[in-house]
């Protein structure tokens, strides 16, 4: 398993867990940490064809990530700000496009860039102590890792405006009410719940899962016609060996043995 300075990787039965690992700084996202996330994602997707899903979580019990590393900001100026924002947007976008489910297991503060990373994941499971917010305006900033774009997709424009303009922090229950998180569980059950969702998805046909992620993302991509993407994806799946296996398994009343082909 690959070694990193700012993240930690664990792997168990086709499930990779990436721990954001700067607990003394509440797992704040430094540029080095974001580079390591990018590297870990490429490593997992390229080297590991048996990967069923990825969990992103925070080391320790206080934070998923309390934002981008604020202490780095005063040195950046305009060009540095653009460069850093672009780095995060591109890397988070690669997580969103991953062909296997990526689940944010949110175990405490998910603020600023931390919430933006969680929003790029396909699903968000929160522990009861999780807290969410976009406090950038308090620091003199707009969000830089796409909260102005993704937050409204989950909670609607009015609630997104409210959270972004007031910088109010909300708890896990409110986040679930708003549709920002899928589920809220006890902290000690968080990783097990995320793993059990990936295990459920792992029983489905891998090609269909990859295509579903692509098609749902396509709805939000102005360069793609999501409806056409779905038509084409449906055709690709119809021509796959997995479709033959799925239908045979249904007729023979047995579990399917998908090969991802
Ligand atoms: N960056 C760096 N260090 C941090 C951060 C952060 N985002 N958050 C916390 N820390 C550090 C604290 O400085 C402290 O370090 P030290 O012990 O050395 O003083 C340690 O973590 C523990 O934090 P606190 O003592 O503050 O813990 P509290 O329990 O008192 O408070 C809070 C917890 C409420 C989470 C508080 O730490 C806080 O408000 N943190 C900042 C939250 C924030 O504003 N996040 C948004 C940052 S901006 C952002 O994310 C923009 C993303 C897009 C960037 C685009 C690139 C340019």
Q: Based on the fold, state whether residues 122 and 96 are members of the same structural domain.
A: yes
How many angstroms separate the CA atoms of 122 and 104, rounded?
A: 8
Would you name the residues annotated as active-site residues? Answer: 116, 136
Q: Is residue 78 part of a domain?
A: yes
Structurally, the chain folds into a number of domains equal to 2
User: Which ligand 1 atom is at minimum distance from the Cα of 80?
Assistant: 57
Q: Based on the fold, state whether residues 128 and 194 are members of the same structural domain.
A: yes
Q: Based on the fold, state whether residues 13 and 52 are members of the same structural domain.
A: yes
Q: Is residue 163 part of a domain?
A: yes
Residue 65 C-alpha to ligand 1 middle, in angstroms? 9
Q: What is the full per-residue pLDDT of the chain (261 aa) written as tens digits?
A: 778 999 999 999 899 999 999 999 999 999 999 999 999 999 999 976 789 999 999 999 999 999 999 998 988 999 999 999 999 999 999 999 999 999 999 999 999 999 999 999 999 999 999 999 999 999 999 999 999 999 999 999 999 999 999 999 999 999 999 999 999 999 999 999 999 999 999 999 999 999 999 999 999 999 999 999 999 999 999 999 999 999 999 999 999 999 999
Name which of 250, 85, 107 is nearest 258 in CA terms.
250
Would you say 184 and 173 are in contact if contact means Cβ atoms under 8 Å apart? yes
Instruction: Name residues whose C-beta falls within 8 Å of residue 69's C-beta, 6 or more positions apart in sequence.
Output: 25, 28, 29, 30, 31, 33
Q: Is residue 1 part of a domain?
A: no
Q: Based on the fold, state whether residues 182 and 120 are members of the same structural domain.
A: yes
User: Is 57 strand, coil or helix?
Assistant: strand
Q: Is residue 68 part of a domain?
A: yes
How many angstroms separate the CA atoms of 131 and 196, rounded?
A: 23
Res 8: pLDDT: 97
Residue 71 C-alpha to ligand 1 middle, in angstroms? 9
User: Which ligand 1 atom is at minimum distance from the Cα of 114?
Assistant: 50
Res 47: pLDDT: 76
Q: Based on the fold, state whether residues 84 and 163 are members of the same structural domain.
A: yes
Q: Based on the fold, state whether residues 120 and 226 are members of the same structural domain.
A: no
Task: Please list every protein residue whose CB sits less than 6 Å from any atom of ligand 1.
Answer: 25-26, 28, 66-71, 81, 84-85, 88, 109, 111-113, 135-136, 139, 141, 143-145
Atom 19 (ligand 1) nearest CA = 25
Q: Based on the fold, state whether residues 181 and 230 are members of the same structural domain.
A: no
Backbone angles phi, psi at 157, to 5 degrees: -65, -40
Q: Is residue 26 part of a domain?
A: yes
Res 50: pLDDT: 85
Q: How far is CA 177 from CA 115, 181, 182, 184, 244, in A?
A: 16, 8, 9, 10, 40
Residue 67 C-alpha to ligand 1 middle, in angstroms? 6
Res 48: pLDDT: 65
Atom 54 (ligand 1) nearest CA = 144
Encoding tokens for residue 109?
């503060």
Return the best residue to mutate from 23, 65, 67 for the ligand 1 pocket (most ligand atoms within 8 A of CB): 67
Q: Is residue 133 part of a domain?
A: yes
Res 143: pLDDT: 98
Res 13: pLDDT: 85
Encoding tokens for residue 220?
């939000």
Q: Based on the fold, state whether residues 181 and 232 are members of the same structural domain.
A: no
Q: What single DSSP character describes residue 29?
A: B
User: Which ligand 1 atom is at minimum distance from the Cα of 87?
Assistant: 56
Q: What single DSSP character describes residue 17?
A: E
Q: Based on the fold, state whether residues 178 and 239 are members of the same structural domain.
A: no
**Domain with 217 in it:** 206-251
98: domain CATH number?
3.90.226.10
Encoding tokens for residue 70?
């604020």
| pTM for the structure as a whole | 0.97
Instruction: Name residues whose C-beta falls within 8 Å of residue 153's C-beta, 6 or more positions apart in sequence.
Output: 220
Q: Is residue 257 part of a domain?
A: no
Q: Based on the fold, state whether residues 190 and 229 are members of the same structural domain.
A: no
Atom 1 (ligand 1) nearest CA = 69
Q: Is residue 2 part of a domain?
A: no
Q: Based on the fold, state whether residues 134 and 246 are members of the same structural domain.
A: no
Residue 29 C-alpha to ligand 1 middle, in angstroms? 10
């Amino acid at each position: 398993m690959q070694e990193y300075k700012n993240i930690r990787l664990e792997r168990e039965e086709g499930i990779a867990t990436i721990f954001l690992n700067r607990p003394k700084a509440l797992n704040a996202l430094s540029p080095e940490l974001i580079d390591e996330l990018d590297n870990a994602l490429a490593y997992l997707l390229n080297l590991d064809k048996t990967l069923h899903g990825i969990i992103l979580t925070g080391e320790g019990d206080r934070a998923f990530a309390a934002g981008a590393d604020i202490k780095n900001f005063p040195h950046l100026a305009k060009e540095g700000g653009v460069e850093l924002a672009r780095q995060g947007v591109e890397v988070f976008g690669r997580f969103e496009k991953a062909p296997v489910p990526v689940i944010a297991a949110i175990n405490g503060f998910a603020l600023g860039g931390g919430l933006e990373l969680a929003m790029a994941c396909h699903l968000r499971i929160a522990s009861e102590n999780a807290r969410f917010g976009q406090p950038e305006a308090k620091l003199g900033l707009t969000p830089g890792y796409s909260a102005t774009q993704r937050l409204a997709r989950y909670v609607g424009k009015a609630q997104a405006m409210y959270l972004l303009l007031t910088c109010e922090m909300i708890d896990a229950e409110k986040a679930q009410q708003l549709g920002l998180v899928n589920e809220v569980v006890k902290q000690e059950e968080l990783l097990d719940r995320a793993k059990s969702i990936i295990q459920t998805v792992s029983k489905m046909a891998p090609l269909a899962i990859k295509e579903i992620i692509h098609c749902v993302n396509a709805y939000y991509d102005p360069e793609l016609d999501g409806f056409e993407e779905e038509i084409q994806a449906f055709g690709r799946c119809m021509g796959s060996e997995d479709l033959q296996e799925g239908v045979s398994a249904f007729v023979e009343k047995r579990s399917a043995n998908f090969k991802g082909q």
